[in-house]
Amino acid sequence: MRLLNKLSFSEKLLHTGFIFLVCIGLLAAEAYLYVTHTGLDGKSGVTLKDVQLSYYGDRSSSKLQTVLPAMFTNAGVPKAQWPQLTQTIDHWVAGGQTKAEYETQIKPLIAQHCLMCHSVAMSQQLHNPPLVTYEDVKNVAKVNTGMSYSSMFMGGMVHLTMLGVIFWIAGWLFLQTRVNDQIKAISVLTPFLAMLLDYSGWFLTKQNPNFAWMVLIGGALSCPIAMLEMGVSLLDMWIGLPGFLQQRLISEVPSTTKSTQQPLPT
Ligand code: HEC
């Protein structure tokens, strides 16, 4: 294997094309992650809370509860009655949405304030969910439990296979640079470990929001390190390396003479 700076012009072009395209792709992936995760918690930037909301969800509130104020307004319910009605619904959702409580507490409330727009006929006109049966109401009272397992497996299929290949190629190119061996060893391993941390973090965070840090740290160390590897490869290929990254000559000379003198062990 030849060092990157010793490659022919067309070989360098091949690697450069790959690096540019893939780095743009990875930046797009980071941007996608940013726009889909930022602000879920109302703050800008991807925070721990955003990760928790994505994978664990928000189990304190259902769609039904979130839209209640707007729906009370729709229904013309006087403001003075809002707290009591809200409490009735909160109690039912938190208590596991039992059929018995539905019959005595929820059904009359909905019949009085909501059915005028949420009957089967009206819901077809207004494009809103019907709230006629117990199942209908239960359906909108589900709490958000975050990303579904099928999306997580799908995400794993795409992320782990695609990034695995990219990380391998980025690492292989990086190994052909004149960078110091220790930096090489750490750099080529980190994206793989970080990706594992990230992906296992998805499942653990779904169980318990306290694991969200794994997703954040894993995400911060996987693609960015691979991009750094590719950036340094590019630099070494076309221009040269800054001193602190380079393999020191003293350690290089004996190891190369040794390897040319000794026969390979069989
Ligand atoms: C004046 C008509 C009207 C009344 C009364 C009304 N709604 Fe709605 N509701 C709508 C419309 C229209 C939509 C769909 C558009 C929207 O989300 O605003 C909707 C949507 C919803 C949704 C689905 C929201 C979503 O994001 O999918 C829920 C849940 C809901 N209403 C619950 C209720 C409850 C509970 C009541 C009674 C307290 C109620 N609505 C009273 C018109 C009404």
pLDDT tens figures, 42-84: 777 888 888 998 898 888 788 899 899 999 999 999 999 999 9
Tell me the CA–centroid distance for residue 71 and ligand 1, in Å.
5
Name the burial class of residue 17, with classes exposed (0-12), middle (13-18) and buried (19+) by CB atoms within 10 angstroms of its CB: exposed
Atom from ligand 1 closest to the CA of residue 72:
38
Pairwise CA distance, residues 238 & 191, whole Å = 24
CA dist 197 and 208 (Å) reads: 15
pLDDT at 45 (0 to 100): 80
Residues comprising the chain, all counted: 266
C-beta separation of 92 from 141 below 8 A = yes
Give residue-wise pLDDT tens across range 105-115: 999 999 999 99
Q: Which ligand 1 atom is nearest residue 75's CA?
A: 5
Give CA–CA dist 192/230, Å, rounded: 15
CA-nearest of 211, 87, 217, 90 to 146 is 211
C-alpha Rg value of the chain to the nearest Å: 28
pLDDT band, residue 138 (cuts 50/70/90): very high
Tokens coding 203: 């499942």
What was the pLDDT predicted at 190?
97
64 lines ligand 1 (CB under 6 A): yes
Q: Which of 92, 114, 123 to mutate to test the pocket of ligand 1 (most atoms within 8 A of CB)?
A: 114
What's the 128 CA to ligand 1 centre distance in angstroms? Answer: 6
CA-nearest residue, atom 8 of ligand 1: 71
Query: Is the pLDDT assigned to residue 209 strictly greater than 60?
Result: yes
CB-CB contact of 241 with 183 (8 Å): no
Total Cβ atoms within 10 A of residue 155: 13
How much of the chain, in percent, has pLDDT values that exceed 70?
Answer: 93
Rounded CA gap, 140 and 63, in Å?
A: 6
Q: Give me the pLDDT at residue 262, please.
A: 54
Its sign, for the CA torsion 177, 182, 187, 188, is positive
55 CB-contact burial (10 Å; exposed 0-12 / middle 13-18 / buried 19+): buried
- Count how many Cα atoms sit within 13 Å of the Cα of residue 179 in the half-sphere of its side chain: 26
Residue 63 Cβ contacting ligand 1 at under 6 Å: yes
The pLDDT > 90 percentage for the chain reads 72
Q: Whose CA is nearest to atom 16 of ligand 1?
A: 128
Query: Residue 46 in contact with residue 196, Cβ under 8 Å?
Result: no
